[in-house]
A and B are shown apart, each in its own frame.
Chain A
Amino acid sequence: MAEQTTILNLTDEEFVHPGNRACSGCGLSIVYRVGLKALGRDTILVVPPSCLTVLQGLYPIAATQLPCLNVTFASTAAAATGVLGALRAQGREKTTVAAWAGDGGTSDIGLQALSGACERGEDLIYLCYDNEAYMNTGVQRSGTTPRHVITTTTPITGKHQKKKDVPAIIAAHGIDFVATASAAYPLDLFDKIKAAKQISGPRYLHIHTPCPAGWGFSSRYSVKIGRLAVETGLFDLYVIENGQFRLTGQSQKMLGKKRLPVIAYFKTQSRFRGMTEDQVAQIQSEVDAKWAGYEKMMGEEAGC
């Protein structure tokens, strides 16, 4: 990856207007503001129904300075494909096409269209902001809601199933660029989008996006909680470029070091309030096993 961006040399050009309709403390407002800076002015956005639809503003007022096509829930990646087709037909290929969807719009209803676009090798950047439930409709479980989380459709015993590993599913299509990022590490996100812009074909970014209203924490802690997800090893920052996996940023720094226990993350949010000690221990052992795998993989790479 190219030189790291710092807060000193991050572009001060803004594409998202202040006073938009995001909730206070919204992780997406960080992600979107920084993401559009990285994408730049020559970009067309494609957005399905999601919190972002609301953030964008109500007709006839728009919250962003980039052209945006609002599309139906299941069609995001196919719609991006259509924009690309028109741009090719008109010789406007230089313009970047970026699809922004939530976790429900990506992992559930939008997965087929996304898979199709990846298989066809469409020249698009797809950004999934993962706030781990259907937040826009009022915190219903999604495919990427973690286990044991209380949502409005898992209201008593929490979600019983694991979080769907969408980046792995997308990586299995054999595309050249898959990355994870977090709203709590905006400069890492910025650099990853910049890196994605350097190559063509389908590029997928999965962005962990804390949501004060849906997760049950005070809106001033969005960044702190996003960092805790990474520091406990629950959500990892990585890049898969040309099939090569490597941890990046804070996650890379944690290799060979002691991580914070997962309980440090769980206890900050009311959505985990139903978890038993056994369940926390189970998740801890799964995170430990995952990280043992990372350590082994890095050790093998160092050894050869």
Chain B
Amino acid sequence: MHIIESGNVAAALGVKLAGVQVIAAYPITPQTPLTEKLSELVDSGDMKAEYIPVESEHSALSVCIAASSAGSRTFTATSANGLLYMNEQLHWAAGARLPIVMCVVNRGVGAPWTVWNDHQDAISQRDTGWIQLYACDHQQIIDTVLKAFCLAETVSSPVMVCYDGYILSHTYMPFEIPHEDAVQQFLPPFTPEYKLDPKFPANLNTVTLPDPRPDVRGELAPGYMEIRHNLHMDMRRSLDVIADIETKFTDVFGRGGTPFIEPYRCEDADYVAVCLGSLSYHLRDVIDMLREEGVAIGVAGLRVYRPFPDQAIRDAFSHKKGLIVFEKALSYGYEGPLYADIKAALYAVSDRPTVRNYILGLGGREIKTTQLAAALRESCQVSAGSTDVPEFIGLKM
């Protein structure tokens, strides 16, 4: 069934279809309509789940951590400072290997206060051990929520589904609601390896020493460092799982097929614009415009930020002349974080493309098509080369 609804409602309908059992959330703009919709679905009886209206984001993720440890499928959602308030719990959820799914409705962070969109919230949580997926439109939001649960429960790691505040969360677009039967085929009920149960007592997340230590039977249990190594290696392996799940999703629903990079007119392009989120769809119009001018350019939206799809980036871009990385986030004192990652991924490529970095749209600063076109025209000149420092688009100094 196709409907026209907001991005937040698309996310809520995905959560309902996923058969989530425990939801905990605390309101923050622009996530609120998602939370409101979920509470309405549960309150009306349309969705059979526990909705727990907690007193903070820290508690929201606490509830999910504990409910997931007790064997239930769990969901929460937040934005900006709410995500930052969860920071300790983000690390905890990932370390405890819990398949929690969270929508991050991307918003700039304070101080000073802003409620408008950029990516600093999610990007700043890069090293918490969460998988980060990015959606570009409403269809991708609802689809990615379903894929996220499948992924989280396959690799025992929590997953963020990130989408742009207001630009996607509050705009209305047509999208298809996946059929329930198909969803059941794609995403079976959650069956945890262990759940808190007095019949099978276990002490979870205990103090763990630096070195491996024997248990009561004399078998060596891993130390903290082995546990961290496992988390890292499983994150790397999850790249394969992401690809497999995308194939499975495409088989069942007939959509998707681009797990890591969603290309647009990239095949014969010399230059490719790269970014996260809805901006990649915005850029498609600009690409069309430049193509008419004779510029051989395309755009690629990254669907996964962590684990970083470095091989997919090398496969897609090694032979290009230049990449132009547009980012709504900054690693203060250095450059755009995605720019740094892409450069690192291409380091071992002998004839690697030049890479340029543009910072834009911070705190909801309007991104104009003319600005994007000008930046791309400049970047596609033979003499352009790589940038030493990121350039800011639309800065009024």
Q: Which residues of A contact B (CB under 8 A)?
A: 41-44, 46, 53-54, 56-62, 64-72, 74-75, 78-83, 85-90, 95, 112-113, 115-116, 119-120
Contacts and interface: CB of A to CB of B under 8 A. Distances in A.
Interface in B38-96: 49-50, 52-56, 58-60, 62-72, 74, 88-89, 92
Interface stretch (B213-221, B263-271, B360-368): B213-221
B198 A53 contact: no
A204 to B, nearest CB: 17
A100 B213 CA distance: 27
B104 interface: no
B86 to A, nearest CB: 10
A155 B213 CA distance: 38
Contacts of B49: 89
Given A54-B207, A62-B206, A78-B59, A67 B197 contact: yes
Given A66-B201, A67-B202, A113-B62, 5 more contacts: A68-B203, A68-B204, A72-B88, A85-B22, A86-B68
Interface string B194-213: 01111011111111110001
A54 B207 CA distance: 8
A71 B204 CA distance: 9
Contact of A59 (B52, B74, B221): B221
Interface string B210-247: 00011110000100000000000000000000000000
Given A78-B54, A85-B50, A71 B72 contact: no
Nearest to A76: B62
A125 to B, nearest CB: 15
Which size class do B's interface residues fall under?
35 or more
Given A59-B209, A65-B201, A88 B50 contact: yes
A234 B164 CA distance: 57
A50 to B, nearest CB: 11
Contact of A72 (B60, B67, B89, B207): B89
List 8 tightest A-B contacts by C-beta distance, closest first: A82-B66, A116-B55, A86-B70, A78-B59, A75-B62, A78-B62, A60-B221, A82-B63
B21 interface: yes
Interface of B: 21-22, 24, 49-50, 52-56, 58-60, 62-72, 74, 88-89, 92, 195-198, 200-209, 213-216, 221
A69 B216 contact: no
Contacts, number: 171
A68 B24 CA distance: 21
5 contacts: A60-B213, A79-B62, A81-B52, A81-B66, A86-B66
Contact of B215 (A60, A66, A87, A119): A60
A163 to B, nearest CB: 25
A85 B203 contact: no
Given A83-B70, A119-B55, A120-B53, A64 B203 contact: yes
A133 B216 CA distance: 33
A12 to B, nearest CB: 19
A42 B54 CA distance: 26
* Max chain A Cβ within 10 angstroms of own Cβ: one of B24, B56, B66, B74: B66
Nearest to A63: B203
A49 to B, nearest CB: 9
B207 A82 contact: no
Nearest to B49: A89
A70 B66 CA distance: 9
A44 B70 contact: yes
A66 B198 contact: yes
A253 to B, nearest CB: 37
Nearest to B223: A59
Contact of A116 (B21, B22, B54, B64): B54
B66 A46 contact: yes
Contacts of A116: 54-56, 59
Nearest to B206: A59
B205 A69 contact: yes
A86 B67 contact: yes
A75 B22 contact: no
A74 B215 CA distance: 30
A42 B201 CA distance: 10
B213 A90 contact: no
Given A59-B209, A67-B197, A72-B88, A85 B55 contact: no
Contacts of B196: 44, 67, 69, 83, 86
A298 B69 CA distance: 47
B55 A113 contact: yes
Contact of A83 (B67, B202, B213): B67
Contacts of A56: 203, 206
Contact of A44 (B88, B198, B214, B221): B198
B208 A89 contact: no
Considering residues A58, A79, A115, which has the most beta carbons from chain B within 10 angstroms of its beta carbon? A79
A90 B216 contact: no
Scoring A60, A65, A115 by chain B CB atoms within 10 A of each residue's CB, the highest score goes to A60
A99 B68 CA distance: 17
B55 A59 contact: no
Contacts of A80: 66
B59 A70 contact: no
Contacts of A60: 206, 213-215, 221
Contacts of B67: 82-83, 85-86, 89
Looking at A66, A86, A90, the one whose CB has the most chain B CB atoms below 10 A away is A86
Given A67-B201, A89-B22, A113-B55, A61 B63 contact: no
A120 B52 contact: yes
Contacts of A42: 198
Max count, chain A CB within 10 A of own CB: residue among B53, B69, B197: B69
